[in-house]
Chains A and B, each alone.
Chain A
Amino acid sequence: MKCTECQMENIEGALFCEECGVKLEAAGEVKDATKDEETEGTLMVLKSLDGSKLEIPAKDEIIIGREDPISDLFPDVDLTGLGGMEKGVSRKHAVIHRAGAAYTVEDMGSTNGTYINKKKIQPHAPQTIKVGDELRFGKLALTLQAA
């Protein structure tokens, strides 16, 4: 299996290139950001690296975080199952606001921050997001996609 970056021939099944560390295609991350523009405004999902999808509920304010029954906190999108705790996701980490076809994400003053396409956003300052954007909560990266 040839690395597209450095052309090194890696053994079948390798997830990362031995030579340059680039993720190899067989690692299974499927790119499908082909329908970005026309699907904007429809139902959205957050897709994780392993391909699993978390549906963003059809409501105007969607809380992203970690479930904490003791504090009676049940976010709309619970990231506990994706290793949210280890990756520094706060209980109430961020909110996705939906206004018609437009989406914004707002960091709720989380401990480890929210990032759009690797850029950290200011807390409590909603930023526009679109299909194909990578959203990162702490160290947990998810891609916004049409459902």
Chain B
Amino acid sequence: MKNELNMRCIMGKDTVLATETEQAVYALVAIKSTTGALLGTMPMNIGLVVDRSGSMDGEKMDNVKEAIGYVVDHVSDNDLVSVTIFDDQVETLIPNQAARNREQIKSAIAGVIPRGGTQISDGLKAGLTEVMKGYARDRVNRILLITDGRTWDDEASCLKLADEAGKQGIAITSIGIGDDWNEKLLLQLAERSHGNSHWIQNPIAILDAFQQEVEGMQAVAATNLKVTARMSAGVKPFRVHATVPMIADVSNKALQNNTVVAELGSLDNKKGQALLIEARIPAQKAGTFRLGQVEVNYDVPSQGVKGHSKKADLVLTVSSDAAAATKVNAEVMNLVEKISAFKLQTRALTELEAGNIAGATQRLQSAATVLLNLGEDDLAAVAEKEILLLRKTGALSAAGTKKLEYGTRKLTQAMRQ
């Protein structure tokens, strides 16, 4: 079978106006598994990397232990599990092994007593070593990192490890509990390794995050997903966003002259993947304009498929009829608006870091307006509240910042039914 995946290329507008200047166009590349059915389950290789610093004591650690119990109970006998715990020291509690010794794993976890500080990079490094022991291309290799604190001056090492993990095909899902941790670091760990990130306000929700991750790993349909868009002469792609599992600006990595090359990790059977490419096209006369060609490459290890590809053209109609050029594709429009909210929020935080409170306030106000238009009333209310705080104190609250950072990135997630 050579049609495991389905790729749709949708332009923001099928018809654009003939112009004498360059204009911006939007292309959405949406990828899903063809049937919507699972192409075959892949065995898993999960590395749990758990912060056991003193602040994890009590409800947080109790819920982490319960959540690890859930993981162990919901993977099959041949899936691989390892557990690494860290404070300012590291201990490999369960070396990489088949998950069948469930009770032994659970009892080892039960004995963990929180203590010490937080040094994420050492824990992450040891956790990666364990995952590498069981690494295979036909497994879903993933690290679940859970922490509640700020790491001690080793952010750069953490990011380097995330880059290496991403290159190997090991995604890191970072889970932050409470308000006192560096959301930028955890989000970057996820983005750089094609993983996910969760913010958990109430420790009770730890189980839910683990549950989502296990279900996500069981739903992996394809791996090594790569989208390449080769543009025609004169077409200049200038921005690229990935949208699953979170909105992420991948422009820096993906833009290579007039070609877009986006490595996207694994493909979730239910969620699929969608990439939004923004490009400038040169002045055009009426007619058909071929923007370029998109190719997706992927593996389906459960079926022994390696390096399959699909291609599709990006084509526009250029017309001098202004009325014909007004129709916008609703799906693209909606996605562009969500990305716009995400961008405004991100820029507000950048302005604030640079000490420009007026600029940050303005961006946040714009973000709130876009969020209201999107029907995201709760998130808009958070932005409004933070604007008041910003005006009063010149700073945002830790919880509000996290709500906005995670909320706007996850605007692309479907609502529960």
Interface residues of A (CB under 8 A from B): 10-16, 19-23, 26-30, 48-52, 82-83, 85-88, 90, 111-112, 115, 118, 120, 136, 138-139, 141
Contact = CB atoms under 8 A, between A and B. Distances in A.
Interface in B387-417: 414-417
A14 B24 contact: yes
Interface in B66-80: none
Interface stretch (B14-22, B54-62, B140-148, B189-197): B14-22
Contact of A21 (B340, B376, B415): B340
B83 interface: no
B373 A23 contact: yes
Nearest to A138: B415
B415 A86 contact: yes
6 contacts: A15-B12, A16-B337, A28-B328, A49-B328, A50-B327, A139-B376
Nearest to B332: A15
Nearest to A10: B24
B367 interface: yes
Given A86-B415, A88-B414, A139-B375, 14 more contacts: A12-B21, A13-B25, A16-B370, A21-B366, A23-B337, A28-B328, A49-B328, A49-B330, A51-B326, A52-B330, A83-B330, A83-B334, A138-B415, A139-B415
Interface in B336-378: 336-337, 340-341, 343-344, 362, 366-367, 369-370, 372-377
State the majority secondary structure of interface residues on A: loop
Interface size band for B: 35 or more
Contact of B24 (A13, A51, A82, A86): A13
B366 A118 contact: no
B23 interface: yes
A142 to B, nearest CB: 11
B16 A86 contact: no
B366 A27 contact: no
B25 A83 contact: no
A16 B362 CA distance: 16
B201 interface: no
A119 to B, nearest CB: 9
Contacts of A83: 330-331, 334
Given A50-B328, A50-B329, A21 B19 contact: no
B115 interface: no
Contacts of B343: 21
A21 B341 contact: yes
Contacts of B367: 21
Given A11-B280, A83-B334, A118 B372 contact: yes
B199 interface: no
Nearest to B19: A12
